[in-house]
Structure 1
């Protein structure tokens, strides 16, 4: 890839020279800084860069310019440099205009002038925007290559694991791509060997397990220490927050995650109501930032292992993992979250992973280009997924069991769905049957009166309910009838008589096994929101400190 460009535009020659100088000093080794002193000049520069095939990572424009304003430049940049990040430099009096631009043109960030000192006010903002751009535009020269059948459940699992762990890969469909057949023949692979995973400078993997795949990619699959202060089970928002606060406060900390950091929130196309991000951010972006932050403070992450049990060994809590692996810690935070509930429909199990999916990552959305997609669910996660799928699919049909979306979805999402021309909402319906030869081909829908209708469908995404997976906790950790973990003062209720045995009362997030805490969606009566999960994860570390100080 040619060195990406950063375009700056300001009609004040002194300011224009200053910002270009600052950006060259800080980012000049990796990026080409192009300077313009008017909106018209900036548009000419964008035209020239497009003709040269030069990627544009960032456009930073002053708002108050005669002729062509900064917002007009950034609006045109969406066509001339698709995917570039946008930064508006503005005075305090223009903040209303900047906030409107977030909704109207998708402005990424606005920065009040002046930005001195740049080390504190300019560079961190620009660095974040450039990091996001790099994440969205990876260098594909060293990509992992995956050869398989798009209707194969194992191929789907491999692609999902790579995407959610931010490993760039190229996909070759054995039924559609001649290159896929060539690679299969070169590897001497048969049908049972698919998917093939070709790792640069590594051995070819044949239908690898998740653990084998993680090991081949150099992802962490083993703990580095014999004993930790804190072991966190689950790498969603609650677990990552606990890792950041635990490691930053001096606790030796390890996270165990079965699939990939981020949890259910990591699959969200957009989280628009998270404090401090007025434009919103994707679940993948939030996860990437949180993992980097936790790693910076020294937290370890162990991937691709399933937790099978939890034992109390005196003052130590032992977490038993698949493959006979164990991690010992003085305290444990359970942050395993929840997963989407299985859809009770005839024929569904045989087609899961073959056109029927729980949740949806960006890779699935892009593979639906030009197709008709069905989606079951009516909560915020379903709404965000529908809007994301609508960017690619010819038509998205939401199947909603209730009478309307309003009862379970935020108003801002309902408004956007109603305004989307390619999204149709079918209320009072449910999916009762699925059929297909090797992959999904049709669905059976039923309305409230019992009338059934069969529709053609190649894609179904399911976003219903919330089920915790907590059987591995054993009898020492009290759960309710649905598997949610009981914590704090709820342990003292008559319904759980005898669950708490110590003289002191349990800490707020503490389970019935002292030293084991629960945070986020897995906990009984939690709010089921990203912000509350992050708060509980941080709070659990405060309680861990109190517990460790008392033992």
Structure 2
């Protein structure tokens, strides 16, 4: 069953110069030569040094969904067949590969488990390339590597559009936890299928066996066949191989906390320069920028790019350069005085690094409304992706906020909703939003701007939000509006609570001070005994802060990416100052 909420159009990177995915279903066949390229004998010969030649008898399972972590399997002789598998025992033929063809998709760059079963058809001789060697291949063989990476990306797009591969979510429509799980998977560009137990026999049988209570939805069938009840994001990440047990003995050159644009830039630049990099992200790569429906002032994209597509490209680059991306895995404590530095993680692991980059960003604020948590995911949203937009078709919605993200979301939602009421406390948008977005909002007939206005009450029941009351703070008049979808983009607080007691200095708002702004802590000393602190270094030597979480930073995607690149040179200088390990 295809997933109607799949959002490949917002997620994945470009597939060639000036050419962007999404690839719509109708065009998949037209691009078959890119999705399933056939390598020549000479090209195959160039790849032999990256893998091991193995033979398989007829019917032997070469790849097993949810388990096998090969980077790529290239057919030398014979044929092998790929099948989609959903963990429930259902299998569907995808394609048969012959000599010069290979099986893999983009997550194999990171050594994640296969999403398909692959079986030998007759006797097969194949080149098995592990994930680390696949990354080495795409770097060393630039032209050939580009074709291979394009194929890997397009295969993931195909899976997303078909809604096949990955986990199966089982729950009746409208369950808040189901919405949150779909949102999590979509934000991470992971294919999945949703089954309604009211009309699907397989889902009904699963429910009869597990007898889920109201708190157990959704049931999640992992690719390996295991079944979870309403799993946390961390449990889901383990189910899919997105995060795994990290080597406790390893000391990373750089640990990046937060994989928004700034953190991803650090990961890409540091990884490309040969540093060992671990990137931790609590929810999904891209951070708040991924919620931007279209960024039109980012250099090099004159027609604009969605935040999710930009983040998707950076994510693939990071995997290409060998960055270990652990998603979703939040840091809960930074041991600033440990040597080397140490981070405790939400799942109980501890990781160590010679340097740490804090790019943990900021989170949207909740208004002071008593019952707001009751409706989160059931009418209250802090994100405007395709999943949320699909809930708003021909409906009236409210969007609160006056920044660029709010403007982009309003324009995006206006293409789905019948009416978008945009509420701001100030007297307009000029001081908080880019001029091009203001003009677009003015030109959009179904967006109505309400100035000096805020929501003062929410109404609803167990099924979700039913209405709101807003107030004009000039006239003090109030109005009740029947609406079931409200989007909040009302400023952000820094994600720094977890640093309490560590020694990283923050300002009164909780943003991290760096460089000359640091007040209390002494600088480290250079080789001559002179005090030194890099411009992005915090009060703790070897701990750097970039992007939205840094005090005084420019809250723009381009600025975050720039700091992410800049900090790598400062990390090199810091690492060079450390004593040589004996």
| Structure 2 partner of 1:352 | 376
Larger RCO (CA within 8 A; separation ≥ 6): 2
| Structure 2 partner of 1:52 | none
**Deviation for aligned residue 1:359:** 2.0
Gaps of 5+ in 2: 1-24, 39-141
Question: What are the residue-to-residue correspondences of 1:155-304 with 2, within 5 Å?
Answer: 155-172=178-195, 184-185=207-208, 187-224=210-247, 226-304=250-328
Structure with bigger helix share is 1
SS in 1 for 2:343: strand
What's the CA shift string for 1:53-103, capped at 9, x where partnerless?
xxxxxxxxxxxxxxxxxxxxxxxxxxxxxxxxxxxxxxxxxxxxxxxxxxx
- In the alignment, which of 443, 446, 450 is matched to residue 471 of structure 2? 446
| Structure 1 partner of 2:543 | 516
Gaps of 5+ in 1: 8-22, 31-118
Moved more, 528-537 or 132-141: 132-141
- In the alignment, which of 509, 514, 534 is matched to residue 561 of structure 2? 534
| Structure 2 partner of 1:370 | 394
TM-score, structure 2 as length reference: 0.70
Change (3 A) 1:303 1:222: farther
Report if the CA contact (8 A) 1:348-1:433 is conserved.
Answer: no
| Structure 2 partner of 1:12 | none
Change (3 A) 1:382 1:135: farther
SS in 1 for 2:544: strand
**Deviation for aligned residue 1:155:** 2.2
Report if the CA contact (8 A) 2:160-2:191 is conserved.
Answer: no
**Deviation for aligned residue 1:223:** 2.4
Report if the CA contact (8 A) 1:223-1:300 is conserved.
Answer: no
Change (3 A) 1:369 1:180: farther
| Structure 2 partner of 1:148 | 171
Report if the CA contact (8 A) 1:222-1:302 is conserved.
Answer: no
Report if the CA contact (8 A) 2:166-2:240 is conserved.
Answer: no
State the superposition RMSD in angstroms.
Answer: 3.0
| Structure 1 partner of 2:434 | 410
- In the alignment, which of 518, 525, 534 is matched to residue 507 of structure 1? 534
Moved more, 134-143 or 473-482: 134-143
| Structure 2 partner of 1:45 | none
Change (3 A) 1:151 1:483: farther
TM-score, structure 1 as length reference: 0.74
Question: What are the residue-to-residue correspondences of 1:25-174 with 2, within 5 Å?
Answer: 29=37, 127=150, 131=154, 134=157, 138-142=161-165, 144-148=167-171, 150-172=173-195
Change (3 A) 1:445 1:486: same
- Matches of 2:543 and 2:321, distance apart in 1: 22
- Matches of 2:271 and 2:524, distance apart in 1: 30
| Structure 2 partner of 1:468 | 494
SS in 1 for 2:554: coil
SS in 1 for 2:262: helix
Report if the CA contact (8 A) 2:512-2:549 is conserved.
Answer: yes
